Amino acid sequence: MLSAMKLMLTFFLSGIIACYGDNPNYDSIHKLLLVSFDGFRADYLKNYRLPHLQEFIEDGVLVEYVTNAFITKTFPNHYSIVTGLYEESHGIVSNEMYDKDTKKKFSQFNDKDPFWWNEATPIWITNQQQENRRSAAAMWPGTDVKINNTLSHFFMKYNYSVTFEERMESITMWLNNSNPPVTFATLYWEEPDASGHKYGPGNKENMRKVLEQVDNHIGSLIYKLKRLGLWENINVIITSDHGMTQCSPEKLIILDNCIGRGNYTLVDQTPVAAILPRNNKTYVYNLLKNCSTFMKVYLKEEIPNRFHYHHNKRIQPIILVADEGWTIVQNGSLTKLGDHGYDNALPSMHPFLAAHGPAFRKGYKKKTINNVDIYPMMCHILGLKPQPNNGTFSNTKCLLVDQWCINLPESIGIVIGVLLVLTTLTCLIIIMRNRISSPRPFSRLQLQEDDDPLIG
């Protein structure tokens, strides 16, 4: 009922807007800088003091939490953000992969083979191929790989030792100087993920320290963009790939206690383990199924649809999904006090998104979007025709200044308002009518009295 009203209102109002004709002028295209602070859990924003980020948000938009893609790991989610595709569709299904046909292996230290990336085309490539523009990248996963035989015009080879300042210097320099112009740029930083793994997100003191550093990085980026005179004309999105949860040495699932290693290859470890059985899949499955009550064991064809994690041969025949906070090992002990990768429905796995710039509204907050929705929004801002993707542009309309947006509470308000006005008008009309007929207030009664003698 409410959604029907909303729909009618949207039609009505978009009709009005259509008359104004909101064709964006792509000649005056704005630049877009996409920044990721790895492992920035959504609720860090509520629980820690982050003055520079808060200031950025007050003058821009905030999406309180972003529903990311399963599995909630770094490479897969960074690729979902820049392609708008679920992992099964863009092909980076994990940080550790194995392709049975080619016998190729992928890991974060061996990620340069285009074979793994070519199932999708990220936005930095499309930006260069559709228009006479350039892209620049400071270490976003995949930006130092030739995808569709193309590299970002400016890029840095991945090297975690390169400081944030050096990455920022390069990216702002590229954004400032270039003909044709650099219109799309990415910037990646490893924190607060690294500290989240090391200390666990429950370690408030250490997380406070690292988040203060991250906030200072945001402050110096804003300062730098202002000094170059870019700040007012550039759109900046600050987001992340996933959150983080606390692990514990008491929460270990030890596979060696359940199944001999000769039965399978462990392609990916934890908290989503990818299992390639050697010979007998059913045998391996049965042993694993009975291994721990703190993990789900799925044959590939049983993986729940909501994960959108099935249609790719790089997804192994059996996957194990640990419950929140549990760690899967073959033997041995816990190495990380914090981890991510778990079910993408868990709030602890969600990152946030904030954005600022001429394309965005000011002081607007929204509960949630999906991370695949970011891609069509970025294409809209850059005036690019999106590649086929799994995002929904309308989910992000309320964030954008050039889009008409009504959210549910507002539309309920409008409907109630319209009803009140109609009721008032009706009342007024009735009162007016009564006033007009007031000289004979009891005419009907009189008529009835008059009737009697006739019947009698």
Ligand X SMILES: *[C@@H]1O[C@H](CO)[C@@H](O)[C@H](O)[C@H]1NC(C)=O
Q: For Zn ion, which is the closer residue by CB, 187 or 382?
A: 187
Interface with Zn ion, residue 88, by CB under 5 A: no
Q: With CB under 5 A as the contact rule, which of the stretches 33-41, 90-98, 214-222, 448-456 interacts with Zn ion?
A: 33-41
Report the distance separating Cα 101 and Cα 93, nearest Å. 16
Interaction partner, residue 334 (Zn ion, ligand X, none; CB < 5-8 Å by kind): none
Report the distance separating Cα 237 and Cα 360, nearest Å. 10
Interaction partner, residue 332 (Zn ion, ligand X, none; CB < 5-8 Å by kind): ligand X
Interface with Zn ion, residue 241, by CB under 5 A: yes
Q: For ligand X, which is the closer residue by CB, 62 or 123?
A: 123
Gyration radius from the chain CA atoms: 29
Interface with Zn ion, residue 38, by CB under 5 A: yes
Shortest reach from residue 242's CB to Zn ion, in Å: 5
Show the binding pattern over residues 293-332: x = contacts Zn ion (CB under 5 A), - = does not: ----------------------------------------
269: three-class secondary structure by DSSP: coil
Interface with Zn ion, residue 74, by CB under 5 A: yes
State which residue has the least CB distance to ligand X. Answer: 262
Instruction: Return the ∠ at Cα 256 (arms to 286 and 249), rounded to 5°.
Output: 115
100, amino acid identity: K
Shortest reach from residue 233's CB to ligand X, in Å: 12
Catalytic residues: 74
Q: Return the residue of 87, 111, 119, 193 that touches Zn ion, per CB under 5 A.
A: 193
Q: For ligand X, which is the closer residue by CB, 21 or 332?
A: 332
Shortest reach from residue 283's CB to ligand X, in Å: 4
Q: For ligand X, which is the closer residue by CB, 108 or 424?
A: 108
What phi and psi, each to the nearest 5 degrees, are found at residue 297? Answer: -115, 120
Note the residues at the interface with ligand X (CB under 6 A): 85-86, 89, 121, 129, 148-149, 159, 161-162, 173, 176-177, 228, 259-260, 262-263, 280, 282-283, 286-287, 290, 308, 331-332, 388-390
Q: For ligand X, which is the closer residue by CB, 231 or 283?
A: 283
Q: With CB under 5 A as the contact rule, which of the stretches 1-9, 35-43, 61-69, 161-169 interacts with Zn ion?
A: 35-43
Burial 388-414 (b: 16+ CB within 10 A, else e): ebbbebebbbbbbeebebbeeeebeeb
Q: For ligand X, which is the closer residue by CB, 106 or 307?
A: 307
State which residue has the least CB distance to Zn ion. Answer: 74
User: Chain centroid to CA 406: how far?
Assistant: 21
Report the distance separating Cα 410 and Cα 415, nearest Å. 9
Interaction partner, residue 237 (ligand X, Zn ion, none; CB < 5-8 Å by kind): none
C-beta pairs of 98-102 under 8 Å, 24+ apart in sequence: 98/265, 98/267, 98/274, 98/276, 98/314, 98/316, 99/313, 99/314, 100/276, 100/313, 101/313
Task: Kindly report the number of other CB atoms within 10 A of residue 365's CB atom.
Answer: 13
The residue among 9, 29, 23 whose CA lies nearest residue 405 is 9
Interaction partner, residue 282 (Zn ion, ligand X, none; CB < 5-8 Å by kind): ligand X
Shortest reach from residue 107's CB to ligand X, in Å: 16
Q: Which residues bind Zn ion (CB under 5 A)?
A: 38-39, 74, 193, 241
